[in-house]
Amino acid sequence: MGCCLAVLAGCGGSAGAPVGDGASATVVAPPPPPSRAVLTVQPADGAQDVPPEGAVKVAAAQGKLLSVRLADARGAELPGTIAADGSSWAPDGPLPLGTAFTLDSVAEDDQGQKAAQHAEFSTVARAHTFVAFFTPEDGSTVGVGMPVSLRFSRPIADRAAVERAVQVTADPPVPVAAHWFGNQRLDFRPQQYWAAGTKVAVALRLKDVQGAPGDFGSQNRDLHFTIGRAQVSTVDLDAHTLTVRGGQGGKVVRVLKVSGGSPEHSTYRGVLVVSEKYQVTRMNSQTVGMGDEYDIKDVPHAMRLTGSGTFVHGNYWANPGVFGTANTSHGCIGLADTKGGSSKDTPAGWLFEHTIPGDVLEVKASAGDFVPPSNGLNGWNLPWEQWLAGSALR
- The catalytic residues are 313, 332
How is residue 344 annotated by DSSP?
Answer: S
Distance CA 39, CA 46 (A): 17
Could you write out the three-class secondary structure of 61-99? ECCEEEEEEEEECCCCECCEEECCCCCEEEECCCCCCCC
Grouping H, G, I as helix, E, B as strand and the rest as coil, residue 11 is helix
DSSP 156: -
Residue 218 exposure: Cα atoms within 13 Å on the Cβ side: 12
Concatenating the DSSP letter of every residue in 201-262 gives EEEEE-TT-EEETTEEE--EEEEEEEE-S-BEEEEETTTTEEEEEETTTTEEEEEEE-B-B-
CA 142 – CA 170 distance, rounded (Å): 14
Residue (of 291, 282, 339, 331) closest to 311 by Cα position: 331
Calpha distance 167→52 (Å, rounded): 20
Q: Which residues contact 374 (CB under 8 A, 6 or more apart)?
A: 181, 182, 185
